[in-house]
Amino acid sequence: MFWYTGAKEHLFEDGYCQMNTAAYSCSAPERVVLHCDMNNYFASVESVYNPGLKGVPLAVCGDPASRHGIVLAKNNIAKRYGVVTGESMFTAKAKCPSLVTVTADYSRYLKYARFARKIYSRYSDIVTPYGLDEAWLELDSAASDINCGITVADEIRTCIKKELGLTASIGVSYNYIFSKLGSDIKKPDAVTVISKDNYKHMVWNRPAFELLFVGSVTRKKLYKMGILSIGDLARSDPMKLSRELGKRGYMLWEYANGDDRNFCPTITNDDEIKSIGNSITTPVDITNSDDIAALLYIICSGISKRLAKHSFKSRCVGINVKNCEFYSYSRRTSFTAPINTPDELFEVAYKLFQASYDWTKPVRMIGVFAERLCDYGNEQLCFYPNTPVINPRIKDLVRSLPERLGKIKLEDSATHKEAIPDIQYII
Ligand SMILES: [Mg+2]
């Protein structure tokens, strides 16, 4: 079966995070943690370069050469028209005919992210970026309390405005989870404090899906259990949550109670990331190419999101395959034009599989990795006429995969930790 024919659609998802096992020591109980989130980041940076864009409905789009170019970010005016991230430019313009679209320029976003990180580093040695527009800062607990945190947050907000011409929302709390939540509560250009004294009042009435790592699948499961708010989650029986949701259930119960001891923020320095990979060990052995195609598409969509999160593209893609007798091998291929979309990654990965697997034995595990990573900004933005178009039937296969194979766990190839396998995000 040849998979790269037919309609093509890019798939992006905001706010994806890959948890990493990088050692993170959680320490003193009186920590002060800030989470800074620059508002409407891509659109705001574009408005710094072209102030005329400030007063118009604006969308930053990828790949305008394609009819399927999608909205990567928008400003508040476009938001009011109902323009949402991830929809096609075509749909966005139907909602808002006066919408101004600009092509994403990742070198700019990377540059401003680095400027912002320099500002953060004036206040803390423990800065953990989360994508380009967000970062956690942990203040020195010996020298700070929550009031000091508020002062620092106000100073950072002022610096970001004066020096970068951008605005940021900042959450100040005693843990990573609530500080992240705090930065979402008031926008733009605001500080929200969630302390040990006010967290029940501030956080527990909020919907459970606002909590970090509650995706659409988990949200539905929680809903079925009658858990609607973060407070419901915090007051639930953690053992019951574990039974229903696995390890994640217990973790979310901890988060809802402000306990981040088991939270591992993403590794601090994008420059240290050499490879991004995911794999799936299937619940049953795979005996046909359709299921392999669907699995590869899920894996490649996950890798694509992780690449986007760090503003990377890849010049080398490889696969790992293990058969049911535990024989395993890798294949990789390099190319000059870097790639990062699910379709592009899938095309390479599936070709590698087809060229290397003889089907004398069923497949037990399959993985994909992206190497030779480069910043978006370090390559010329150009549009290649031979962008792959993937058979739309792949989406049906992905959708129906759990029926055929059962529950699928996407694993981070580097750490062997369970990644965030929200299949519903992918399709
Ligand atoms: Mg933001």
Work out the average pLDDT over 143-160: 93
Domain boundaries, the chain: 41-105, 204-266, 273-426
CA 228 to ligand 1 centroid distance, Å: 25
**Residue ranges of E strands in 168-300:** 168-173, 190-194, 276-286
pLDDT tens string 248-262: 899 999 999 999 988
CA 343 to ligand 1 centroid distance, Å: 26
CA 248 to ligand 1 centroid distance, Å: 25
Determine how β-strand 58-61 pairs with β-strand 71-74. Answer: antiparallel
**pLDDT band of 215, cuts 50, 70, 90:** confident
The predicted pLDDT at position 297 comes to 93
The predicted pLDDT at position 392 comes to 82
Count CB neighbours of 226 within 10 A: 8
Is 48 a residue whose pLDDT tops 60? yes
- Range of weakest confidence among 4-8, 139-143, 341-345: 4-8
Work out the average pLDDT over 106-130: 90
Q: Which of 134, 344, 347, 411 is catalytic?
A: 134
Give the separation between CA 36 and CA 124, rounded to whole angstroms.
Answer: 13
What is the pTM assigned to this prediction? Answer: 0.62
Q: Mapping DSSP to helix (H, G, I), strand (E, B) and coil, where does residue 240 land? A: helix
- Range of weakest confidence among 44-53, 229-238, 310-319, 404-413: 404-413
Mean pLDDT for all residues in the chain = 82
Please check whether residue 379 is in contact with residue 313, taking contact to mean a CB–CB distance below 8 angstroms. Answer: yes
CA 409 to ligand 1 centroid distance, Å: 29
For this structure, is 30 an active site residue?
Answer: no
CA 333 to chain CA mean position, Å: 26
DSSP string computed for 406-427: ----EEETTT--B----HHHH-
CATH topology of domain 204-266: DNA polymerase; domain 1 (1.10.150)
**pLDDT band of 126, cuts 50, 70, 90:** confident
Q: Which amino acid is at 387?
A: T
The predicted pLDDT at position 283 comes to 82
Work out the average pLDDT over 374-378: 62
- Is CATH 3.30.1490.100 the right assignment for the domain spanning 273-426? yes
The predicted pLDDT at position 100 comes to 94
Is 176 a residue whose pLDDT tops 50? yes
**pLDDT band of 16, cuts 50, 70, 90:** very low
pLDDT tens string 217-250: 788 899 999 999 999 999 999 999 999 988 889 9
Burial of 385 (0-12, 13-18, 19+ CB in 10 A): exposed
**pLDDT band of 269, cuts 50, 70, 90:** very low
Work out the average pLDDT over 412-419: 46
CA 131 to ligand 1 centroid distance, Å: 9
CA 67 to ligand 1 centroid distance, Å: 26
CA 425 to ligand 1 centroid distance, Å: 19
Q: What CATH architecture does domain 41-105 belong to? A: 3-Layer(aba) Sandwich (3.40)
**pLDDT band of 401, cuts 50, 70, 90:** confident
CA 15 to ligand 1 centroid distance, Å: 9
DSSP string computed for 52-106: GGTTS-EEEES-TTSTT-BEEEE-HHHHHTT--TTSBHHHHHHH-TT-EEEE--H
Give one word for 293, left, alpha or beta, with left for phi > 0 and alpha for psi -120 to 50.
alpha
pLDDT tens string 301-354: 889 888 887 778 888 999 999 998 888 898 998 887 888 888 999 999 999 999
